[in-house]
Amino acid sequence: MLEWYDAHRRDLPWRSPPGETPDPYRVWVSEVMLQQTTVATVRPRFEAWVTRWPSVAALAAAGEAEVMAAWAGLGYYARARNLRAAAARIASDGFPRTEAGLRALPGFGAYTAAAVAAIAFGERAVVVDANVERVVSRLHAIETPLPQSRPAIRDAADALTPAARAGDFAQGMMDLGATICSPKRPRCLLCPVRPWCDAYASGEPDRYPLKAPKADRPQRHGTVFWLEHQGRVLLHRRPARGLLGGMRALPTGPWEAEPPGLAGAPAETPWRLLPDSVEHGFTHFRLTLALAAGEGTGHEAGEWWPIDDLAGAGLPTVFARAAEALRRGR
DNA sequence: CACTCGTGGAG
DNA sequence: TCTCCAAGAGT
């Protein structure tokens, strides 16, 4: 694996040249951004982030609102809040250099603690992400479906992890999973571990890993309100916890199984309902948003944001799309 | 353990 | 068009 990694490793902005120790801050930021997020999406966002906040100290000194806005569009917004909270602790107490020490920081789960310990600090930590799960499941042709197979996969990954260069080993496994041992149509003929792969030998490598069936996503309906006054639109701040927590948003009523109409409107005004609606898919439900536009007094509670600068508000994608439809169709 | 928590791209 | 999926964490 290390030989293959040395020859085929992807060149990524958070990686240091071979043999050089990477900046722990950059490794950490990249690992958090890459949680459930593709390399193609992360690459430009990572560059922008480390340009704006080049160090732990810089991030620790940033305001919560600007950090949340900078994360807009990336999803899973608790990551941004935890990143900033952990930066404050690291700035005052120092960067933990062990897996156990990292694991105690907000936003460092089992994967991220192991990855940062191995990649940035050279610890022999067992790094298991979705790539490793897939590669190991195929190597051993594990018939138990995920997530029940996780303990066995972790044990197998432990047995494979070398004492030295555990970080390069982990990155090699992830590069292999991303470029060759892909979920669909794996390129087994290019694979360096094909001779040891039980799934390849079975003739159906893409049957692994087996997965438990997922619950179907229910449909919900809501209404988004565009309240305008003198070139500005009313924005709210979502509660710190929960869906889109801590993010700026357009005012919106409840999201329920049936369309809620004008329930939860931020003002009593003759609302105009637009003929269009906005569809959005979340992890565990689908959402259809009706669009309502009206005139405010300028005294309604919230932030009155310049319509010409809505891009600067850092709206989550669902509200950015609703805002665009409303701005166009109001 | 089961559920919540976003988004964009590949197929 | 629609499903699947991605360097998971928190509760």
What per-residue confidence (pLDDT) applies to A213? 87
Can you name the CATH fold of A219-329? Nucleoside Triphosphate Pyrophosphohydrolase (3.90.79)
Name residues 265-284 of chain A with a Cβ under 7 Å from nucleic strand B: 280-284
For A167-211, how does the pLDDT look when each residue is reduced to its tens digit (9 = 90+)?
Answer: 999 999 999 999 999 999 999 999 999 999 999 999 999 999 999
Distance, Å, A130 CA → C1 C1': 27
Q: In angstroms, rounded to a whole number, what is the distance separating the alpha carbons of residues A179 and A127?
A: 18
Q: Which nucleotide is nearest to A243 (CA to C1')?
A: B5
Q: Is the peptide bond before A239 cis (omega within 30 degrees of 0)?
A: no
What per-residue confidence (pLDDT) applies to A230? 98
**A132 pLDDT band (50/70/90 cuts)?**
very high
Distance, Å, A108 CA → C7 C1': 13
What per-residue confidence (pLDDT) applies to A21? 86
Q: In angstroms, rounded to a whole number, what is the distance separating the alpha carbons of residues A93 and A101?
A: 11
Q: Is the minimum distance from the CB of A78 to strand B below 7 Å?
A: yes
Output Rg (C-alpha) for chain A, integer angstroms. 23
Q: Which residue is nearest to nucleotide B11 (CA to C1')?
A: A184
What per-residue confidence (pLDDT) applies to A19? 86
Q: Name all protein residues with C-beta less than 7 A from any atom of nucleic acid chain C.
A: A 10, 12, 14-15, 30-31, 34-39, 76, 78, 82, 106-113, 115, 129-131, 134, 171, 174-175, 177-178, 183, 211, 214, 281, 283
Q: Which string of DSSP letters, residue by residue, matches A279-322?
A: EEE-SS-EEEEEEEEEE--S-SSSEEEEGGGGGGG---HHHHHH
Chosen CATH of A2-207 out of 3.20.20.140, 1.10.340.30, 3.30.70.20, 3.40.50.300: 1.10.340.30
Going from N- to C-terminal start, the domains of chain A cover 2-207, 219-329
Residues 6+ positions from A241 with CB-CB distance below 8 Å: none
Residues 6+ positions from A73 with CB-CB distance below 8 Å: A316, A317, A320
| Phi, psi of A224, rounded to the nearest 5 degrees | -110, 140
Percent share of chain A, pLDDT over 90: 97
For residue A214, pLDDT over 90 is answered with no
For range A75-89, the mean pLDDT? 98
Half-sphere exposure of A228 (CA within 13 A, CB side): 16
For range A37-42, the mean pLDDT? 96
DSSP run (H or E) holding A273: strand A272-281
Distance, Å, A36 CA → B6 C1': 9
Q: Which nucleotide is nearest to A182 (CA to C1')?
A: C5
Q: Which residue is nearest to nucleotide C4 (CA to C1')?
A: A183
Q: Which residues of A are the active-site residues?
A: 31
Distance, Å, A282 CA → B5 C1': 9
